[in-house]
Amino acid sequence: MHSETSIWIEAPSRDLFDLVADLDRWKSILPHYRYVRILSRHDGTTHAAMSARRGPIPVFWEALQTADPRTRTIRFRHVRGITRGMEVLWTFTDERGGTRARVDHDLDFKVPVLGPWFAEQVIARGFIEPIVQRTLGCFRVLAEDRARGSVGNAAP
């Protein structure tokens, strides 16, 4: 299963990268996140337990995050939950005086027969993409407010 979601944000890529890379702040700026608990930090990798809502439905996972400020990329590897093994890549590309923020998810869901359909239709379309769209929307509001020098609500 491959899923990609992107949004253009009127803010510098460096500022957006710094904002997204800061997992400690996700719970306070993303209203659909139930929690982000930092479990450990070691050699530039953060291990976090995370949970968000898709409407009324809670989803949860654990992931290892590595952020590379040089390339402005953030990688997550899911290590626990139904999406165990999923690779997530956030990229921030300068575009038209702002930033193209893109999130790619790749998962080889190893369930016989219905696995590929379930991964594509239920996991990707039903959960990942709506949550990522809301997450990017929140980061967009916050980053654009900061770029304009105002303080705004992170919720779209």
C-beta separation of 96 from 83 below 8 A: no
Looking at residue 153, what is its pLDDT? 47
Tens digit of each residue's pLDDT, the chain (156 residues): 899 999 999 999 999 999 999 999 999 999 999 999 999 999 999 999 999 999 899 999 999 999 999 999 999 999 998 889 999 999 999 999 999 999 999 988 777 667 777 888 888 888 999 999 999 999 999 999 988 886 544 444
C-beta separation of 35 from 50 below 8 A: yes
Residues in the chain: 156
Looking at residue 33, what is its pLDDT? 96
Please name which of 113, 127, 118 lies closest in space to residue 5, comparing C-alpha atoms.
127
CA distance 93 to 9: 10
Please name which of 36, 123, 35, 42 lies closest in space to residue 85, comparing C-alpha atoms.
123
Looking at residue 150, what is its pLDDT? 62
C-alpha dihedral over 53, 58, 61, 65, to 10 degrees? 10
CATH architecture for residues 2-21+63-148: 2-Layer Sandwich (3.30)
Looking at residue 7, what is its pLDDT? 97
pTM for the complete prediction? 0.89
Looking at residue 109, what is its pLDDT? 75
C-beta separation of 33 from 85 below 8 A: no
Please name which of 126, 140, 37 lies closest in space to residue 80, comparing C-alpha atoms.
37
Looking at residue 48, what is its pLDDT? 98
Q: Where are the domains of the chain?
A: 2-21+63-148
